Structure 1
Amino acid sequence: MPDPAPATALVVMGVSGIGKTTVAAMLADRLGWPMAEADEFHPAANIEKMTSGVPLTDADRVPWLAAIRNWISTRAAAGDSTVLTCSALKRFYRDLLREADARVRFVHLDGTQEVVRERLAGRSGHFMPPSLLRSQFADLEPLGRDEDGVVVDAAASPEAVVDSALTRLGLA
């Protein structure tokens, strides 16, 4: 009997305010997979820095990314495919996530600073201030051609983004 297909983790990535949570929730609903917010894995010190308008360093992010990677592996060991949000701005960060014991695939939500600035202006109750948007775009390394995933225009409606991502990932 052949081995069952490995669990998959879909990581909805991009800068803060691009629409990761909305898209990830819709993907999780359509696929029937559990969802997690990467923000929930941040230690208090990271949240305090971001709330104060101080960008995180790579050293701040490594333990956070390791916790996310470990969560993916734990869920995969239980046979669960998952959907999660994570900025995953740099390839180095994505490489850490790919160390999980699952097939880690990315849905890179791409958009302009203007689109994101408008969305951030309408958002409340989040610890990431709009003042850090410039640093997010400066850190962003787009998904490489050799990385398992797709780039989707976040300016489209959430439904169109989800439809495109699922079709292009072969999960529709």
Structure 2
Amino acid sequence: MQQLRTPHVVVVMGVAGTGKTTIGPLLAARLGVPYAEGDDFHPQANIDKMSAGVPLDDEDRWPWLDAIGTWAHGRAGLGGVVSSSALKRSYRDRLRAAAPGVVFVHLTGDRSLIEDRMSHRQGHFMPTALLDSQFATLQPLQPDEAGVAVDVTGSPEEIAARAMKALDALPHPAA
């Protein structure tokens, strides 16, 4: 098992369908830390809205992000992996304010690949129709944000391995 030298909280981010729910647990297992599914932090009103094909707005997202931030804060110094679309810089800033030191793994990929993957998922509340709004909202990680971008081409194991390699290459604070 590969370990980061410092127990970070890793936020697996990206648009719907990039594989956050698949890659997050794989990363958590490789890091030896707990995984939390970001969708579980949504209030029922958000799930109902998305299920109806209505994109969330910022007011819908703040309580959800705050709940994820609270979880991440509780894992500070212990490590953990949580999924969250974290599409906008302001959303990531809010998570960092709640849990300084979080590191982002931005899952990226070609829109047609992601749409194809979404169309084959079963039992998820997010319809493929909302993918355009996700891409329209997405603000990729900026150079001053702690994190890495990882392409989602390939098997989940290949993606997780790329993510681990990229995370391991990040500068680590002195212990």
**Structure-2-length-normalised TM-score:** 0.89
CA pair 96-68 structure 1, distance change in 2 beyond 3 A: same
* Aligned residues between the structures: 166
CA pair 12-73 structure 1, distance change in 2 beyond 3 A: same
CA pair 74-43 structure 1, distance change in 2 beyond 3 A: same
CA contact (8 A) 1:13 1:106 kept: yes
SS in 1 for 2:102: strand
Q: How far is 1:142 from its partner?
A: 0.6
Moved more, 54-63 or 5-14: 5-14
Q: How far is 1:101 from its partner?
A: 3.5
Residue number in structure 1 paired with 2:49: 49
Consecutive unaligned residues of structure 2, counting only runs of 5 or more, are 171-175
1:17 counterpart letter in structure 2: G
**Structure 1 residue aligned with 2:124, among 104, 123, 126?**
126
SS in 2 for 1:103: coil
CA contact (8 A) 2:19 2:152 kept: yes
**Structure-1-length-normalised TM-score:** 0.91
SS in 2 for 1:60: helix
Residue number in structure 1 paired with 2:25: 25
Q: How far is 1:144 from its partner?
A: 0.7
**Structure 1 residue aligned with 2:83, among 82, 85, 101?**
85
CA contact (8 A) 1:6 1:102 kept: no
Q: How far is 1:147 from its partner?
A: 0.6
Consecutive unaligned residues of structure 1, counting only runs of 5 or more, are none
| 1:1-172 alignment, distance < 5 Å | 7-76=7-76, 79-170=77-168
2:7 and 2:94 map into 1 onto residues whose CA distance is 17
Q: How far is 1:6 from its partner?
A: 6.6
Moved more, 95-104 or 118-127: 95-104
CA pair 32-7 structure 1, distance change in 2 beyond 3 A: closer
Runs (4+) off by over 2 Å: none
Provide, for residues 89-109 of structure 1, a one-character-per-residue CA deviation record: whole Å limited to 9, x for no partner: 000000011113442000001
2:121 and 2:99 map into 1 onto residues whose CA distance is 34
